[in-house]
Amino acid sequence: MPVKSLDELRKIREDQIKKVKLRETGESDDQTIEILVGMATCGIAAGSREVLNELITQISTKGIEHIKVVQVGCMGYCHSEPTVQVNMPGHEPTIYGNVDRNFVGEILDKHIQNGEILDDHVLIKTYHSAL
């Protein structure tokens, strides 16, 4: 479906922005939680692929709903790879560093299901952190 005009592009954007505005504003129409996993070369070398797979496996075995796992590029925190960002509707995002497979369960059980932030792994908790 080729985009033939700027208006058509903007229409796509309108549709898509609903899916990603959680990342900018903490709002989500359908209350979906997002987990972003940094999947650049550094992250993958440090084990982010295992983390991603573990997230997907545990989400399905634990039967958690309204949750989406998204692979993203380098977040810049090379010193703490693998990095994982949790975006919960209505909350500021949380970025965890040095995440391993064992920690995935904690993120899901404590943070996602109980809203408990795991301070020791937190790198940063704010919006527009780069600004």
**Binding-site ranges for another protein (CB under 8 A):** 1-6, 9-10, 12-13, 16-17, 19-21, 23, 36, 38-42, 44-46, 70-81, 83, 85, 97-98, 100-103, 118-124, 129-131
Report how far residue 51's alpha carbon sits from residue 108's, in angstroms, rounded to the nearest whole number.
12
Report how far residue 123's alpha carbon sits from residue 87's, in angstroms, rounded to the nearest whole number.
14
Looking at the Cβ atoms of 36 and 108, the one nearer to another protein is 36
Looking at the Cβ atoms of 49 and 62, the one nearer to another protein is 49
Report how far residue 120's alpha carbon sits from residue 33's, in angstroms, rounded to the nearest whole number.
21
Q: Shortest Cβ distance from residue 56 to another protein (Å)?
A: 14
Looking at the Cβ atoms of 62 and 101, the one nearer to another protein is 101
Tell me whether residue 80 is exposed, middle or buried, using C-beta atoms within 10 angstroms of its C-beta: 0 to 12, 13 to 18, 19 or more: middle
